[in-house]
Every structure is written in structure tokens, then in C-alpha cells.
Structure 1
Amino acid sequence: MDPSSTGTMQRIQNEKRQLLFLCIAQVTVGHVRYSIPEEMATGSLVGNIIQDLGLDIKRLKSGKARIFTEDGSEYVGLNLDKGTLIVNKRIDREERCGLVSPCSLHFQIILDNPMELHRIDVEILDINDNAPFFAKREMSFEISELAVKGARFSLDSARDPDVGLNTLQTYKLSPTDHFKLNMLSRPDGTKYAEMVLQTLLDRENQEEHKLTLTAYDGGDPPKSGSVRINIIVMDANDNAPVFSQSLYRVTVPENASKGTVILKVSATDADKGTNGELVYSFSQNSDVTSSMFNIDSHTGEITVGGELNYEKVKHYEIDVDATDKGGLRDTSKVLIEVTDVNDNAPVISIISLSNPIPEDSAPDTVIAMLNIKDLDSDKNGQVKCFISPDLPFKIKSSSTNFYSLVSDDVLDRETTPEYNITIRAIDEGSPPYSTNKTINLRISDVNDHAPMFPQPFLNAFITENNSPGMSVLSVKATDKDSGNNARISYFLEDSQLSGMSASAYFSVNAESGEILAVRSFDYEQTKEFNIRVKAQDGGSPPLSSNVTVKILIQDQNDNPPQVLYPVQTGGSLVAEMVPRSADVGYLVTKVVAVDVDSGQNAWLSYKLQKATDRALFEVGLQNGEIRTIRQVTDKDAVKQRLTVIVEDNGQPSRSATVIVNVAVADSFPEVLSEFTDFTQDKEYNDNLTFYLVLALAVVSFLFITCLVVIISVRIYRWRRERLFYKSSGNLPVIPYYPPLYADVGGTGTLKQAFSYEVYGTADSRRKHHVMTCRGMREQYKIHSERKKFLGFIPAKAVPQIALT
């Protein structure tokens, strides 16, 4: 490089170091254009997007600002800390754009949450950093001495990668004794030169001429390049070939196959013989041109020799020479325009994607940002983008070649947990090319479904006398959500059962929903419980639902029958009196028994186990009635002893026995003589009245005591209940009192219509029994009436006696 070029380069470098500001050509919303010179040092400032786009540092960092380029170049970088664009690597305008002007870098600044897209255009300004140069160091011409004045000789054009004023502007030829330089312009404005003969050549005077052709650009200062021209003067041939056209134009599609004839050039030579024979060839062209096209040296046909690509090179310029045997030649220029065909499919690039998205996303939520480009031009490069209309999404065009995929409907993960969204891009070429790209979009769950039980009410059964901790029932709820939103826990709702908290009777496993009995149950105390179990998911906020469980206590045969009548006493003996005139079926008495169990466990049957005379009496299997089965005779013993067994229907069954004394006689003396010992104590008869009065006083005292106890118990329970509600504490265990044997619900063995009365005397300490007279019953009637409060003494109209 000459000293002038070196000085120019240094001055440009100094100018670049002093360039501390940028020219903002155009600022619109989301679109900024900058201009910078090429060859700026790495790290140099390009622009301040904080000021130009109205953003701030926090937004850049929170939005994960980044640069997206369609071609993947990284000439410009983003400094997030300062909010500036800087030169990322050296930019050579000639390497980037070649002869295309203006030369621009196009990229996008993308931010997330919410998504934003800002287009940045950076125009690369040319500096005069390239000098014109020639492809070859020298050019050689063989010119006949008969060449006439005005003969033209095409010279190889110099090249300058710069553009505008910095590119090639003029040529200078020296010396100019025989030739002058003719400057010409092509239709596109580029300069080329022709060498024109202005003084006839004389081979005998000078056989060889050496010239220098210098090319200058328009820089300040200008740069130049030169080539040596060697001219050899030929003798004889005095007519040069002449092309039919000085400029040929032709168009060829980029998909033209190798060997396709695109043009035929022709030239004529007035000479005859060998001097008129022409040879066609390419002038000193670039290797690219010679590899892309071929010329037939005899016919002048130009054919395609390589693969054309409109997207890379749109036109070619070729110089064709026609040379005769004498060395004379003419030059013509061929301009080949390559036309575009639709040979490129659209390219879909996903530059940002939110995956997964929550199912409660609002319509028009941006899911992805797409860049779709087609390297073809005009209609061949115009692209339409769409997706299936059946999907709850749509495509929106945000700017040129950029699209947004947004939601278009309500999403439901439980219905469709994921979508395969196929994006189809098709150009408008003929035939059209298309590209598909599929996005697998997952829908994330939100807690929008509460746990659900299969039924709102459930029944469970548990046998009484169960072991604490026994499993009663397992409840199960389902939740359509997923993850923690579907993780279900079970809880027992706090409620009052028989005056106590439900947790005192039952517990629920939080994980499995299994209901466990906390204590043992007694059917005779409580027959059923109603509890509520809540199922709650793990969402935020949590959702829940309830199920009501009715727990029925099943009865066990854990109570034996209890005989209410006849009453069994310790010392006295009650006997039923049967006259000897009694007929068959005479009702002697009725055994009355109850069973506090229920169902078949309370079904009682009566059987005669033992009897003094089995042929005289029978017992009703269902009703317990003792009747005669034959006529009573005088031979029958006065004293009859029957043993009756009462059995329930449980498995295994339980039983109770009762002894019934029957006196077969027509008069009291007869009975008395049978039931009285031969030695009677006179002292006992004298004191009988005293014992009767004493017994009446004792019974009255017991009656009053029972009333006081009952009232005290009720007052105690009432006070305990008030203390429980005030303190919210656990209730004390309610003491168990034997149930009354009145069948209120109609499930027992006694009917309310029956009413029996028994009358007894005080027990005597003597070892014998005395038959009392019928008139004494009235004296003890008051005593018997007071004993009715016990509620279990039956009575009947059959005569009865008390034996002491």
C-alpha cells in the first residue's frame, strides 16, 4: 500500500475513535434506526435503548432482554447494566453486504413478562477502506498494425468493494501517444473504460507498447490501483471482427439446469480465409463467472455451467471477445439477469415460548413469538401463517415476519392436559411451498375442583361390644386436579353425639379416609350415630366437600332373658292356686319375661323343663302361659312344682329359669295343711302383725329414698351438662342405669295393654310356711301399690297366695 493510502487509513481510524454519538434516523414506537460507520472497535457504542425506546434497566433485567437476529449474526450486543447497544465484533460492510447499498443490520430486542418486540435497524456506513484493484497484474493485447483509428479495445474493469463516492470513479491511461481512454457508464451507473486507437500503429517502428491503466475512487483522499497493459503490434490482418450488438441482455430462471443455452452471440469479419475465422471467448472475467457459464468458441452459444441461486447473485456481467486468426478482436458485453423461482420453503423459528401455561390464563395471553421468513422474493416470499381452527389458539401478526401465538378460549386442564399445535406457513408461489412446525404445549393445573365423594350419604354397620380402634368404614373422594391440588386429606367434623364430641367416639385417618371406632359401643345405650367427614385438597386456597356417614350399631345377644313374673323371692314362696274342678286348658298363670336385646335376640320361647306331674301342665311356647292339659283329679298332689326355662333366639342363645309353685286345692285349709310344717311356733303367730307393719314401713322408706335418688341424679346430670357447654370440655361418662322394661318402641316382648299385680308378705325367719287367708290381701294392698313404681310387676286375675 502506498503512503497516501496509509495516511488515509490512519485518518479514518482517528475519525472512528472520535465518533462518540450516533445519528438516529427514525424513531417510532418499538422501532429505532441507527447509523454507524464500519470497522468500529469492539465495545463501541451503537445506541442507548433506555432513552430511545423509553425503557429502564429494571425492565430490561426483569424481561430478560435479548437480541434475536434472523441470520444468527452477532455483530451488535446488548449491555443490560447500561441499557446500551455496543459493537460485539468487527463489522466489515463489504464482507456483510458487498455492493448492496444501503447496508443494514436488522434485529429484534425481545423482552418477556409481558412479551415485547422492538425492531432495531443499524445502517452500516461505508468508509474508504478499500482501494480499487484489478483482477490481474497485467493485460496483453495483440493489435494488428492495420488497425484503424477509432478501434476499441475493452479493458478489464477495476473493482472497489466500497460504495457511493468511495467506490471506483475514474480511470487514467498513460502514456497516451497512440491510445486514448474512453470512459463509459453501464445502465447501473458503474464505470468501465475502453482503450481507443487514435494514432496508427507501425510494427516496424515499435513492435511493443507498454501502458499503465490507473483506477481512482472518490474518497478523500482518493485511493487508486493500477495494471500494466502490454500491446504487441501484429502484422497483416487489417479488418477486425465486429459484434452484431455491443450489449446483450438476457434473463434466465435460477432453476435453469446445466447446459441450458441462454444466449448466442455473433460477430462478423470482412476478411476472408483464416483471417475471417472467429473464435469466441470470455474476456478476463472472475472465476465465479467462468464457473457459472460456458461459451462455445465456434458458435458463440452461452450455456449454464453451474447452479444459479437468485438469493445469492441476482445478475452477472460478462465480456465476450470475438478474435480472428490475425489477432484482431472485438468485445461485447453480456448482462445476464437471474429471475427468482419459488425454490425455498418458509422457515419457522420459535424465538420465545411460555410452556406450560396455567389453565386459568385469560384469552389473548401470548404463548409464543415466531419468526417466519422465506428467502424468495415478491410473491414467492410472501408467507401466510395459520393453525387449526379447532384449537383454542390463534395466530396474530405483530410485525413483518413476526407472529404471536395467543390463547383464544378458556382452557381446562382436566379436559385437555396438553395440545399439539401445528403451525403451518405457506408462501404464495406457484406451486406453493409450505412448512409445518409443531409445539407441544402443556397446560398446568390450578385448584379449580373440590374433592367429590361418590355419594353424599353413606351407611356403615358395626356390631356392639366392638374393640376400640376397629375399622368402621373407609371413605374415598376424588379430585380432578393434579399434584398438590389433588392431594386429599380427610377430617372428622366436630359435632355433638349424645352430648359428647364426635372425636370421643370416632377418628378418621387423614391419608386413607378410614373411620375408626375410638371406644366400644353398647346397642342398648345408642343405636346409631351420624357423623360428617370432610375431604380437603392441598390447593391454595384449599377446596373441600363433606359426606354424611350414618353408623348403625348392630345388636349382639349379650343379655339373657329377665323374668318379670312370677317374682322369685329369697324366703317366701308364692303359689298359684288351681281348684280341683279346673277343666282342660285352665290358665294357671303366665310367665312374663323380657330381653333387652333386639331382633331375633329378643325373641323368647318358653319350655317346661321340670314338673312334679308333666301330664298335668303345659307351657305356651310363645306366650309363656301355663295351662292344664287334662282334668284335675283328687289323686293329684296338692303341692306342684314347675321349672320353666325361658330362651332367646340368639346365636348362641341365652336362657333363664323360673320356679312356679302351684297349689291344687279347693280350700285354704287344705293348702295350708300341705304347705305348713307340723311344728308351728306360737310366738310367730303372735308377732305376725308386728312384722307386717314393719315391712310396710320399710317399703315406704325405700320408695321415698328412690324418689330422692332419682331427683338427685337428674339434678346432677343437668349441672354436668351446663358445665360441659360452658367449658367446652369433654363430658363425663354417663352412668349406666338399667332400662325400664316397658316396651315403648314395640320391639320387646311385653305389650303395654297387660297389667299385673302381685302381693307379697314380709319374709319370716322361721323355717315353715303359713297360708294366709284371703282377707289379709286387703291389708297388704297399699304395700303392693307402692311397689308398682319399679315398673316390672305384672298382675293377673287368677287367685294367688303368699306362703311364708
Structure 2
Amino acid sequence: MALNETMRRQVLLFLSMLSMCSVLGQVSYSIPEEMSKGSLVGNIAQDLGLDLKRMKTGKARLHVGNSAEYIELNKEKGLLLIKERIDREALCKQTTPCALHFQIILENPIEFYRVTVEIIDINDNAPAFKMNSMLFEISESAVRGAKFVLEKALDSDVGINGLKSYSLNPTDNFVLKLNDNAGGVKEVEMVLEKPLDREKQEHLTLTLTAVDGGEPQLSGTVQIHVTVLDANDNAPVFTQSTYKSSLLENSQRGTSLMTVTATDIDQGANGLLTYSISSNTEGILDLFEIHGTSGEVRLIGKIDYESSKHYQLDVKARDQGGLTDSCKILFDIIDVNDNAPIIDLMSTTQSIPEDSKLQTVVAVMNVHDADSDNNGVVKCFLRDSEPFIIENTSNGFYSILTNTDLDRETASEYNITVTCSDEGVPSLSSSVTLTLQISDVNDNAPVFERSSYEAYIVENNTPGLSIFTVKARDADWNQNARVSYILEDSSVNGVPVSSYVSVSADSGVIHAVRSFDYEQIKDFQFRVKAQDGGSPPLSSNVTVKILIQDQNDNPPQVLYPVQTGGSLVAEMVPRSADVGYLVTKVVAVDVDSGQNAWLSYKLQKATDRALFEVGLQNGEIRTIRQVTDKDAVKQRLTVTVEDNGQPSRSATVIVNVAVADSFPEVLSEFTDFTQDKEYNDNLTFYLVLALAVVSFLFITCLVVIISVKIYRWRQSRIMYHSNLPVIPYYPPRYSDTLGTGTLQHVYNYEVCRTTDSRKSDCKFGRTGSQNVLIMDPSSTGTMQRIQSEKSILDEPDSPLEVSNFPLCSCQSFMLNVCLPTHNSISAPRTEAAPCKCTTCSTSLALLFHVTHLE
């Protein structure tokens, strides 16, 4: 087969090469096998007519395909040489002729030559027998012409070198006979020519010789040993032709069942008998055995009444001459209860819905027992007390039915165990377990883990931040238990709650839609609905409350003293002030809450740190020593207000303090102070312009104020008759509650009451001290005008009273004129006319910041 495969590949290669180039020549050689390595095969260059130079330049080479390389090419001399020793028998076995096929290929241009090397067989293998000897036992009663087939010899060589003939020696009793079979192979037989006589010669030894046709001839021999047997002319005889017995099917292996006996009247070896079971029934030899010499029959396997109720054994007795006799043994099998009932589930239901009706059939089974009589009578029952019953519908058929209502949430799976027992002694039983799944029905609404949720989030959060997760569980299964979360429609302060938060439908994660500001909203609540995926869906609701936690995101705001760009506010401290004199009070607020709004006051810088101190908690600026004449008139204090947040935020306020006993001294000092600190050389032009504008505004405002005061005086008379109360409002820490007199200026705010005051948001204020100075650095004549105006306002009988003048609550604490909405001051004010605040200019605020004493 290997050679045929090789030849097939060579043919394919040849055809493929032939498609690429033409075959220019072909040469064949014949060589004997077993040539030594390097032996000459042929002069390929000469035989093909090739020039040695052409073989070199053309890179001549052999192509053998997938065959072993037995031949090599010597390009220098153009010779084919033996590369490996060739064994024809190994290469081709019995195939003839045996040849090697390969190609010689040259390049530039490509040339293709075919070469065939035939391997000639030599007589290098002698005939041989596989067996070392052949043994025959031949009875002396064998007749003439009896044939005995002998083993054939094998010779690897072919043709004339192959096996040629046989010879037998001696030929006193036997001769050889050769027969040709259908395959052309000679069969060798030994034929009895002369009867044997055991008494003369009990053993014969013959030599069989096989000879080939080679030169020189080779041969092989084998010994034939013949044993002559005594003639047996009497056959054995059993004492009974048929034996009968009964046998329990649960009999143990090795049990002795009976003994059979046969006799032979021959003497010696011909009278020795051997017993054997010759029954052709399948499986008999696996169940029974008989002792070869005693005839005792034993049980060696497990017998089964249900498989066979009767067994028949054919027993043969044979003497040494080959003569036999036979008898029968019949065994009747007695049944015992050795088979448990067999439960056959004919139809089962893998799953039923939990709302199934009573008496729903979940399984049908057939039960049978292979035993007989009472051993095969079966009864079935359910082992556990489950919501099922079993009923016998007909002979051997049972049904399992539901007996109570099912609830998947209580039990989603039942393992129904059916036990069937027979009435044998002892009783045998079998059990089978049926697994029944209870399919879900959407009969449970989702239930939240809590009755309500409360979550916290720090203000200034990032939109989209995960706040909290609500979780609801549904006792149902699969799609019926797949919970989706829905944000119910509601509003917070008139805004839809969906603009505040969102909820993930799958996970229940609540996200912030916007960034929260604690100062605007401190908490809000909404409802989340959990809905399952059943049909129809079931749902439940839960309330979620979100609490906004404050963050220190607002710095303190200084309410007093107010920092103005166009005027300078100075607190006046007389040089006679004692230690602990309350100069002023820094008032600040923080819109944050908790500790983020706890404020502390610190003196950051001061013209003279040894003169003043600031209360850490209340912001009061007091003197810490006696004021002396050497102290500078102008004192500049920088106070830092810091909250208690993490990190803390702060604000800074500058407090100007005048240490003097007279206004001229204060005016001259603070004018220079402001010019030195706040302005540069190019500001002179703007100061002159500001002085002209302030003067104009002052005159204009003075006229307007006097007119409004007269109008307000008239309105106050009307309010007095309308019995509308005037409610004063005193902000905390704006007055000295102890009444010590150290803080002589009190800042009061009063509601601007008009005939339609319930709709007005305007406020007006009046001060209770004249110690607060407002200096205008653009003009030195401002103080004289202030004093003149003050003398007018301080007249006890003057109809113009600042306390009745409507003022807007400006953040800078400056006084703004609150004018009626109608344009004409002299026109009568209607009862429903609202009050409109107009922003006061800087100069007007400076003018009316000093008011008359209470």
C-alpha cells in the first residue's frame, strides 16, 4: 500500500511538471538489490546526452517527491549513485516489478527528464516456517488416505527465487500432496499411506523441508511430531437420559444442584470420561457448571424467575477417544419476592400555575411487579403530607392530583415522592420523586423595604449625583417580579418635582437633576411608585424626603459699618474716653446655618493696636486703654469677620475712628487722610467736578425734602385719624440694651406707613445719636451745611421730621427718599397710591445720615 501511494504521488508530480514544461527525455536502469552505498547506477549525463557544464549551470537535481532517497546525483561526473542500501523486500514486498521513479530537473531553461530504476530481486531470503514444530495425535484406527494439513513455509523473495517445492522424510507411513488453492498458493497435506500401529510405534518424528528456486538454493525445515492414539471402540453411557430438579431463584452461587453419572466399558485411557455442558441456550454457561470428572452440577450465576421459569442443560460425557454420550437436566425455578415494584411515569407535568383548580392532574403513572401471586400485588401512596393525593384509576394505573390551593410564594417547588410496596414477605418497595414547579401568577404587589425614606444631600451638588436608592421587592417571580420605579407627578414650591430629582426605572437610584441651594430650599419630599411587570401590573408607593445639608458657601456680609466709595464714615471717640469705651459695633450676618453661620470678629490691622480691641463674639470695638493727647486723630481699623465653616470664609471691613473733641479737627485730619490713601495726582479734576455735582444735588434734594416733609406731615395727620399704628423694628445688637450710654447712637428702622401701607415694602429710619460723622472729602464746606440743616431739623416744633420721612431699606444703610408714585408733590395723595422708593445719590445719603436726636 505504501508503494502504491508512492507511485500515485509520483504520477501526480509527473503530470504537474508535465503541465509546466515538456519532458525532454526518459531513461531506465535495472540494478540488483542490496548494492552497497556509492555503487554506480548509470551515467545519466551520457544516457540523456547532457553536457556536464549544462548540469552544473542548470543546477541539476533529483526530485523524488515523498519517496525515500535511495539514489543520488553526482553533478560533477553526471553519474547516478546508490545513496542508501535498497532492500527489495522492504520496498515492494511481493509486488513485481519493483522500481524507483524520479525526475531530473534543470533550470534556465527548465528541462525535465524521467528516470526509472528497476530493483532486481536476488535470492537473499530462505524459506521459513512460523512454527518450530507441528504436533499431531492420530488414532491407530485412522484409515488409509486420511489427510492432515501442514503449515506452509514463507519466502520473501519473488519469481524464481521464491518457494519452489516441499519434501517429507521419512515416508514410511505418510506422503506429501500439494494442492493449488484459488489464490495460487500451494496447500501442503500429509496423507496417511500406511495404517499406524500404536503398539509398534507410539511416536513418529518427520522432517518437512521447503526449497526455493534460487541459485544457490536455500531451504527451511520444521519437525512434525505424531502421537499414535489407542483405538476406542466403546462410547460412554449415562445412567439416565433426563434429570429433573427444582431450584429457588434466590439460591446462592456455588450451590451443588445434582451429580450425573456415565460409564465406559473400555479399559485404561479409553475408559476415562470428561463431562461438559453443551447446551446452545445463551447464558446457560454463565449460570451453571459441571465438574469435568465427577459430573457434579453447581450454580455459578444468579438465576431469575422473571427471566426464565425453566432451564434445560445438555450434558455430554466424552471419553479419551472422542466418543460421547449426552443427557438432559431440567430445572424448575421457584419464585421468591426479589423484585420491587417498577414505577413508570407515563405523563408528567413539569409546571402548573399557582392558581390551578383543585383536582388538577399533575402526573399519570403505571406500576407493575414482575413477581407472581402476592409478591406482585402493589399498593402506592405519597410519602409526605403535601397538597397532593394519589388515586388508583385502574389496574396498575395511578394519577396524582392537587388537593389544596397552591401558593408559589409559599412553596415554588414540590418534590412529590411516590412509594409503591408489594405484599410479599418481606415486602419490597420502590419510590420515585417528581419535581413540580409552581409557575407564578402576578398576585403580589411590590413592597418597599421601608415605609418611608429619608436621605441627605449636601448643597451645591453636581447635577446627576446619586442621592439614594429605594428598593422594593416583589414576592412573585420573573417578569411578575421585575420592578420598575416611577417618579410620581408632584410639585415642590410650584415647580415639578421632576426638575429636582429623577429615579432610575431599573435600579431605583434617585439622582439629583439640579444643584441644590440650602439657602433656597432646605427639604422637600415626593413619592416613588414601584410597579411590577405583570399583566395587569401591581404597584405600591413610598414617600421619600430629601434633606439639604448646608455647606459653607456664603461668606459673612457686613451690615455695619457700611463701606461707601464716595464718603467716609468715621466713629468719633472723645479723648476723655475711659478704658472699655464702646466705639462702635461691627454687625455681620451669614446666610448659612449651623456652625457655618457662627461668626467671630478679629482685629486684623489697626493704626494703633494698643488702643482698640474687637469682641470675638459680638464685634464690639472698645478702647483697651485711656485715650491720650498723643494719640492720632485718625485711626484706621481693619476688622475681619470669619465664619466657623470648613473651610471658613471671611469678610473684611474698615472702620475709621476719629479721636477728637471737635469737628474742625476731625474734618481737617480726615480730609488729608482720604486724599493720601484713596486718590492719586490725576484725581483733582474729578474732585472739582464732583463738588459741583454734589452742590447741585444738595440744593435740589433740599427743596424736594422740604416739600416731601410738608406732604408727609399732612399725610401723618390723616394716618393719625385712620388709627393705623406705626410699629418700630429694632434689629438685634443695634442698641445698647444695658443703657450704659457707652453706645450713644442707636439705629432704628420703622415701617413706612402710608394710606396703603399694607402693600408697601418701603422702610424708613432715623438715628438716635449725632456722633456718627459723614465726611465729604470733595468739599470743606459740607460740615457747615450739615450743621445748618441739623439746626433746622432739631427745632422741636418743626413740621419736618425725619422719622416721618419715608426711606427705603437700602443695603448700604444710607437714607433714600421714598417718593409717592404720582409726579406732583403738591397733588393730593390718594388712599391707594403706593409708595415708590428711588435710590438716593451719594451726596443725598451723606446729607441725611445725620438726624436729630430722639
TM-score per shorter chain, which class?
Answer: 0.3 to 0.5
Normalising by structure 2, what TM-score?
A: 0.45
Higher gyration radius (CA): 2
**Which structure ranks higher in relative contact order (CA pairs < 8 Å, sequence separation ≥ 6)?**
1
Normalising by structure 1, what TM-score?
A: 0.48
